[in-house]
Chains A and B, each alone.
Chain A
Amino acid sequence: MTSKTRIPIKLQINGHRHELEVEPRVTLLDALRDHLGLTGTKKGCDQGQCGACTVHIDGQRVLACLTLAAQAEGRAIRSIEGLADGDGTLHAVQAAFLEQDAFQCGYCTPGQIMSAVACIREGHAGSDDEIREYMAGNLCRCGAYPHIVAAVRQAALEIASSTETAS
Chain B
Amino acid sequence: MTVHDVRSRHGDSKRGDASDGAILAEAVGGRLSRIDGPAKITGAAKYAVEQQLEGLSHAVLVESTIAAGKVRSIDTAAAESAPGVLLVLMPDNALRLNTATDWLGTPPPDIPYCPLARDITFSGQHVAAVVAESFEQAVAAAALVKVAYHETPAIVDLDDPKAGDGIPIDTMTKEWGDAQAAFAAAPVRICAAYNTPREYQAPMEPHGLIAHWQGDQLTVWEPSQWLDGMARTYAEWFGVPFENVRLVSPFIGGGFGSKAFAYGYGAVAAMAAKMLGRPVKLAVTRPQTFTAYGGRAATRQTVALGADAEGRIQSIVHRGVNETSVDGMWVEPLGSVTSIMYATPNFSSRQNVVRVNTVVPGALRAPGENPSAFGVECAIDELAYEVGIDPLEIRLRNYAEQDPEANKPWSTRRLREAFAAGAEAFGWSKRAPEPRSMRDGNQLIGWGVAAGTYPVRRAYGEAMVRILADGSVEVESSSIDMGQGTYTILAQTAAEVVGVAAEKVVVKLGDSRYARAGVTGGSRLAGVMTGAVHKAATAALDELVGLAISDPNSPFHALQANTLVVANGRIASPRGDGPEVSIAELLGSVGRSQIEAMGDTMPANSTADDRYKNYTTIATALSHTEGDYSRHSWCAHFIEVRVDEDFGTVRVSRVVSALDSGRLYNPKLAESQWKGGIIMGIGQALLEEGIVDRRHGRIVNNNLADYLIATNADIPDIEVISVGIPDPHSSALGGKGVGELGIVGVAPAIANAVFHATGKRVRDLPITLEKLI
Point out the residues of chain B lying under 8 angstroms from A40, CB to CB: 42-44
Assuming the A-B contacts A105-B203, A143-B677, are A42 and B135 also in contact, with contact meaning beta carbons closer than 8 angstroms in the complex? no
CB-CB nearest in chain A for B15: A99
Point out the residues of chain A lying under 8 angstroms from B677, CB to CB: 143
Interface pair B17/A149, CB less than 8 Å apart: no
Assuming the A-B contacts A90-B41, A98-B33, A103-B483, are A44 and B206 also in contact, with contact meaning beta carbons closer than 8 angstroms in the complex? yes
Assuming the A-B contacts A1-B140, A80-B42, A81-B42, are A145 and B712 also in contact, with contact meaning beta carbons closer than 8 angstroms in the complex? yes
The reply on B676 being an interface residue by CB < 8 A is yes
Interface pair B675/A146, CB less than 8 Å apart: yes
Interface pair B676/A144, CB less than 8 Å apart: yes
Interface pair A106/B251, CB less than 8 Å apart: yes
The reply on A104 being an interface residue by CB < 8 A is yes
Assuming the A-B contacts A90-B41, A139-B704, are A95 and B8 also in contact, with contact meaning beta carbons closer than 8 angstroms in the complex? yes
Point out the residues of chain A lying under 8 angstroms from B47, CB to CB: 39, 42, 107
Point out the residues of chain A lying under 8 angstroms from B710, CB to CB: 143, 145
Point out the residues of chain B lying under 8 angstroms from A132, CB to CB: 712-713, 715
Interface residues of A in 78-111 (CB under 8 A from B): 79-81, 83-84, 87-90, 92, 94-99, 101, 103-110
CA distance A95 to B482 in the complex (A): 21
CA distance A133 to B202 in the complex (A): 22
The reply on B532 being an interface residue by CB < 8 A is no
Assuming the A-B contacts A104-B672, A107-B47, A147-B672, are A141 and B680 also in contact, with contact meaning beta carbons closer than 8 angstroms in the complex? yes
CA distance A34 to B50 in the complex (A): 8
Q: How large is the interface on B (under 10, 10 to 19, 20 to 34, 35 or more residues)?
A: 35 or more
Interface residues of B in 394-420 (CB under 8 A from A): none
The reply on A50 being an interface residue by CB < 8 A is yes
Interface pair B204/A108, CB less than 8 Å apart: yes
Point out the residues of chain B lying under 8 angstroms from A23, CB to CB: 134, 136
From residue A114, how far is it (CB to closest CB) to chain B in Å? 10
CB-CB nearest in chain B for A100: B17
Most buried by B among A26, A49, A81: A49
Point out the residues of chain B lying under 8 angstroms from A13, CB to CB: none
CA distance A25 to B44 in the complex (A): 27
Point out the residues of chain B lying under 8 angstroms from A107, CB to CB: 47, 203-205, 251, 253-254
Point out the residues of chain A lying under 8 angstroms from B286, CB to CB: 44-47, 49-50
CB-CB nearest in chain A for B253: A107
Interface pair B83/A94, CB less than 8 Å apart: no
Most buried by A among B42, B286, B483, B716: B42
Interface string of B649-671 (1 = CB under 8 A from A): 00000000000000000001101
Interface pair B713/A133, CB less than 8 Å apart: yes
Interface pair B43/A141, CB less than 8 Å apart: no
From residue A46, how far is it (CB to closest CB) to chain B in Å? 6
Name B252's contact: one of A25, A80, A94, A105 (CB within 8 Å).
A105
Interface pair A142/B136, CB less than 8 Å apart: no
The reply on B45 being an interface residue by CB < 8 A is yes
From residue B205, how far is it (CB to closest CB) to chain A in Å? 4
CA distance A87 to B5 in the complex (A): 10
Name A41's contact: one of B11, B43, B283 (CB within 8 Å).
B43
The reply on A66 being an interface residue by CB < 8 A is no
Interface pair B50/A139, CB less than 8 Å apart: no
Most buried by A among B41, B256, B705, B717: B41
From residue A156, how far is it (CB to closest CB) to chain B in Å? 13
Name B712's contact: one of A84, A99, A140 (CB within 8 Å).
A140
The reply on A135 being an interface residue by CB < 8 A is yes
CA distance A164 to B705 in the complex (A): 40
Most buried by A among B10, B39, B251: B10
Interface pair A96/B10, CB less than 8 Å apart: yes
CB-CB nearest in chain A for B43: A40
From residue A86, how far is it (CB to closest CB) to chain B in Å? 12
Interface pair B676/A101, CB less than 8 Å apart: no
The reply on A56 being an interface residue by CB < 8 A is no
Point out the residues of chain A lying under 8 angstroms from B7, CB to CB: 87-90
Interface string of A118-148 (1 = CB under 8 A from B): 0000000000100111011111111111111
Interface residues of B in 697-726 (CB under 8 A from A): 703-705, 709-718
Interface pair B483/A105, CB less than 8 Å apart: yes
Interface pair A142/B483, CB less than 8 Å apart: yes
From residue B478, how far is it (CB to closest CB) to chain A in Å? 18
Interface residues of B in 192-232 (CB under 8 A from A): 201-206
From residue A90, how far is it (CB to closest CB) to chain B in Å? 5
CB-CB nearest in chain A for B40: A106
Point out the residues of chain A lying under 8 angstroms from B717, CB to CB: 128, 146
Name B43's contact: one of A81, A95, A139 (CB within 8 Å).
A81
Point out the residues of chain A lying under 8 angstroms from B41, CB to CB: 80, 90, 94, 97-98, 103, 106, 109-110, 113
CB-CB nearest in chain B for A135: B712
The reply on A52 being an interface residue by CB < 8 A is yes
CB-CB nearest in chain B for A88: B6
Name B144's contact: one of A1, A90, A103, A146 (CB within 8 Å).
A1
Interface pair A145/B136, CB less than 8 Å apart: no
Point out the residues of chain A lying under 8 angstroms from B709, CB to CB: 139, 141
Point out the residues of chain B lying under 8 angstroms from A94, CB to CB: 41-42
The reply on A158 being an interface residue by CB < 8 A is yes
Assuming the A-B contacts A101-B33, A146-B675, are A136 and B711 also in contact, with contact meaning beta carbons closer than 8 angstroms in the complex? yes
CA distance A14 to B34 in the complex (A): 27
Most buried by B among A52, A88, A104: A104
Point out the residues of chain B lying under 8 angstroms from A101, CB to CB: 33-34, 668-669, 671-672
Point out the residues of chain B lying under 8 angstroms from A139, CB to CB: 204, 704, 709, 711
Interface pair A90/B8, CB less than 8 Å apart: yes
CA distance A67 to B588 in the complex (A): 57
The reply on B82 being an interface residue by CB < 8 A is yes
Point out the residues of chain A lying under 8 angstroms from B144, CB to CB: 1
Point out the residues of chain B lying under 8 angstroms from A30, CB to CB: 135-136
Interface pair B703/A49, CB less than 8 Å apart: yes
The reply on A43 being an interface residue by CB < 8 A is yes
Assuming the A-B contacts A98-B33, A109-B41, are A92 and B10 also in contact, with contact meaning beta carbons closer than 8 angstroms in the complex? yes
Name A39's contact: one of B43, B206, B718 (CB within 8 Å).
B43
The reply on B46 being an interface residue by CB < 8 A is yes
Interface pair B673/A104, CB less than 8 Å apart: yes
The reply on B37 being an interface residue by CB < 8 A is yes
Point out the residues of chain A lying under 8 angstroms from B254, CB to CB: 104-105, 107, 141-142
Interface residues of B in 717-773 (CB under 8 A from A): 717-718
Interface pair B33/A105, CB less than 8 Å apart: no
The reply on A3 being an interface residue by CB < 8 A is yes
Minimum-distance CB pairs A-B, first 7? A40-B43, A104-B483, A107-B253, A143-B679, A106-B40, A143-B676, A95-B10
Extra contacts besides A90-B41, A104-B482 (4): CB < 8 Å: A107-B204, A107-B251, A133-B712, A143-B680
Interface residues of B (CB under 8 A from A): 5-11, 13, 16-17, 33-34, 36-47, 50, 52, 82-83, 134-136, 140, 144, 201-206, 251-254, 256, 283, 285-286, 482-485, 668-669, 671-673, 675-680, 703-705, 709-718
Question: Can you pick out 24 interface pairs between chain A and chain B where the beta carbons lie within 8 Å of each other?
Answer: A23-B134, A38-B43, A39-B47, A44-B286, A47-B703, A50-B704, A95-B10, A98-B41, A101-B33, A101-B672, A103-B40, A103-B483, A105-B253, A106-B39, A106-B251, A106-B483, A136-B714, A138-B712, A142-B254, A142-B483, A143-B715, A145-B679, A146-B675, A148-B712
